Chain A
Amino acid sequence: MTDLLQATSLAKKFGDHEVIKDVSFSVPRGTVTAIVGPSGSGKTTLLRGLNALERPDSGIVQIADVSVDFAKIRASRRGRLGSADRALLRRYQAHSGMVFQGHNLFPHRTALQNVTEGPIVVQRVPAAEATENARALLAKVGLADHADKFPYQLSGGQQQRVGIARALALEPDLLLFDEPTSALDPELVGEVLDVIRQLAKEGRTMVLVTHEIRFARDVADEVLFIDGGLVVERGRPRDVLDHPKHERTQAFLRRLLEV
C-alpha cells in the first residue's frame, strides 16, 4: 500500500520549549492512524503541524503529490511569508481536512451553509451542486433534518458532525481529527465516534488524536504513542494498547484504566 502521508523529522519549539523533537511516521492510503499520549505530550501540536496550522520549524511532510520542507519556509522578521511559500502551503493544506476539538463552526451560517462555504467560496463549485452535495453529506452524518439550523440550535454532538461534514465537503485525501470528542458530554460521544467509524469503513485515510483508547483500538490500523515530543512506541493497536513494551506507555495506559 502506498503512503499518502510521509512525515520526516518534524520538530517544533514554542520559545525554548521543544514540543515536538524529532517525529517521523507515515500513513498508508486508506488507513487510520491514532495518536495517543498524555496531555502536553505534543500530539495536538503534531496534528496541527500536519495541516500547517502550526508550522513545524523543520522537517518534511509529503501529502499526496505535495511536499513541504518546513525548514525552508521562513517567515520574514515581521512574520510574513513570501507569496510562493503561501501558495505552496495552500496547495498542501488543500489535501487535508480538519475537524477541531471545539468544532469551530461558523456561528453565523446554518449547518448547510457551513458545509457549502468551502466548496462555493474556495473551490468555486456552482451553488446548486454544492448544496446538493452538502445535503448528502449532512444526511450521511445523520443531520438531514437539521440543515437549516444555526450551530447554536444544535447539540455538541450534532455540531461536531456538521464539522465533519464541512471537512468532507472539500473532498480531502486526508482527514485530521483533533480530539473530536473530548469537549463533548459523555452521552454525545457515541454518535460522533459512529460517524468516524463509518468513515473508516469506507476506507478514508485519517489521522486522529484521541483519548478514547477503546475507540482507537477499534478503528485504528496503527497507533502512535507520543510523549515528550517523541514517538515512544508505535504499532498495531493490540500490540501498543494491549501489550505495551515501553514503560511510559504502560504507565499512561494504567493511569487511563484506573479512572
Chain B
Amino acid sequence: MLRTIILIFRNEFRRLVRDRAALFMLFLAPVVIIAVAGFSLGNLYGARPNARVYLVPIVDLDHGTIATAITDGLAHEHSIEIVRATDLEEARRVVFRSERAPLAIVIPAGTTKAFESGRIASVLVCADPIKRVEATAIELRLNRLSRRIAAAARDRAQADLFHKMAELRSQLDSLEAQARKIQLRLADFRRDFIRESSAIQARSERRIKRQIRREIGALEAQTQAAVERSLAMTQAKLAGDLAAKRDAIAAVERYLHQLQSSEQAFDRWLERLKAAAGSHAAEIPAPPQWPAPPSREQLAELAKPLELSIAKPVMPRAGTLGDVTVPILRLKLPAPARLSFDVRDLKDARAPVLPGDIGWREKALTPGSGEVNTFDQYVPGFGITFLLIDMLWGLSIALIDERDWGTLERLRVNGAPVPGMLIGKLTARFLIGLIQMVVLFAFGWMLFGISLGQSAPMLLLPAAAISFAAAAFGLVVACVARTRDSVLPIGSVAAMAMSAIGGCWWPLDFEPAWMRSLAQWMPTTWTMQAFNDLMIRGLSASSAIWPAAVTFALGLAFAVAGILGSSQFYE
C-alpha cells in the first residue's frame, strides 16, 4: 500500500515535470495574469503612475493672478506638461489626439476677480470620459493646487488683516490719547468759559443800566414837552368850537319860531278846508302830525357853556429804547486741540476682504451628457476577449486537430497548398468572428442599451479589423503552441493578456505608462480605441478609420507570421 502511494506520488511529479502545458498553467499563466491585472489596476490602489507625464491643455480666458497661479502650479508638477490652447476646441483636439492628455482646463474670464472678491472662482475641467482615472488623477492634483492657492491667498490676506488691525489699533490708541487731551482741554475751556461769561455778564449789566437811565431821562423830557404842546392846541380848538355852536343854536331858535308860526297857519287852513268840504269834511283824512320840537330843556342845554378838555399829548414812543445798542463782549475761546492724523483716513480705508475659494466643475469633452454606460466598454471589450478565445478553438485547435487527424496531410497530397488552406481557414474564421461581433453588439444594444455612436454601420470597420486580427492571432498560436494541450494554456493566457493590456477589461488609462506603450503593439488596443471613439466619445465615423487600419495592419503582420510559421510547421 505504502509502496503504491509512494510510486503514484512520484509518478505524478514525473508526469508534471514532463507536461510543459501543465507547468505553464500552474506557474507561468497565473503569474502573467496576476502581473497584467496587478500592473493594470495598480493605479486604483494608489500606486504611482510610473512617472507618466500627462499633457494638460489650458485655456486661459482670465489672464489674472489665479490663472497664472494655476498654470504655474500645474507646470511645476513633475508629472504634468502644460499646453496653452486658445479655445476649448483646440484643447479638445489635443486631448483626443494625445493619449497622454486626459482632460483640458478652462479658466473662465473673471476667475481672479471672483476669487479676490471673496466668491468661489470656478474652473472648468473638461475630461475625456475614456480616460477617467487619469482625469481623476489630474483633478486631484488640481484640487490640491486649488487648495494651496486659496490657502496662500488666505494667508496673505490674514497677514494683511493683521497688519491693518495693528495699524488701526495704533491709530485708535493715538485717538484715545488725543481724546483724553481734548477732554482736559474741554474742561479747561469750560472753566474759562464760565469765568469769562460771568465777567462779561457783570460788565454788560452795568453798561445796560447806565444806558437805561440815560434813556429814561431823555424820555421824561420829551413827554413833558408833548403835554404842553397838547394843552395849547386844545385851548385853541375849544375857542373855535364854542363860537360855531352859538351860531348854530341861534339858527335853530329861529327855525323853531318859524315852524310854530307855520303850524298855526296850517291849522287855520285846515279849518277852512273842513268848512269848505261841507259834508265831506269827515272824509278828509287827518293831516300828518308835526314832529314835536326839542324841548326847551334840550335847547337850553345847547345854550350852556362848553367845558374845556385837554388834548391828549403825543407821548414819545417806547420803541426808541430798542434802538439802544448795548456792546456785547466776545468770549475768547481756546483753540481746539489738533489731531495727529486725519480721521478721514479711517473712513476712507477699505474694509479688508478675505479671498474666496477656487472650485472646479467638470464637463465632458464629448457631445452629450458625458455619462458613460459601462456596457459601452464591456460589450466590445469582452466581445473581443471571447473573439480571441473562440479563435483558439476555431482556428488554433482546429488546425492542430486537422494535423493530428491527418486531414491536412491528405489535403496536401490532394494538391492543396498549405498557405492556401491557412488563408481559407483565416478568411472563414474572420467572417465568423465578424458575425459574432455583430450579434454581440446587437444583444448589447437590445439588453444593455449600448451606444452605437453617430453611425452604427461604422462599428463594422473596427469589428472587421479585430476579427481579422483575432483569426491571424489564432494562426500564430497554432504554430507556437503546436499541440492541442498547449493551445489553451498559451493561447488563453495570450488572449487574456492582450485583452487586459489592450483595454478590453478596463479603460487603458488604468495602466502604467510602460504597459500602455506595450499596448500600442496589440490590435486589441486600437480596436478598443475605435470603439471608444465611436461609442463613448461619440466622435464622427472617420475617427475609427485610423485605429481600424492599424488593427488590420497588426492583424496582417500576425497573418504573415502565422502563415509563414504554420507553413513550415505543417508542411
| Chain A complexes with chain B | no
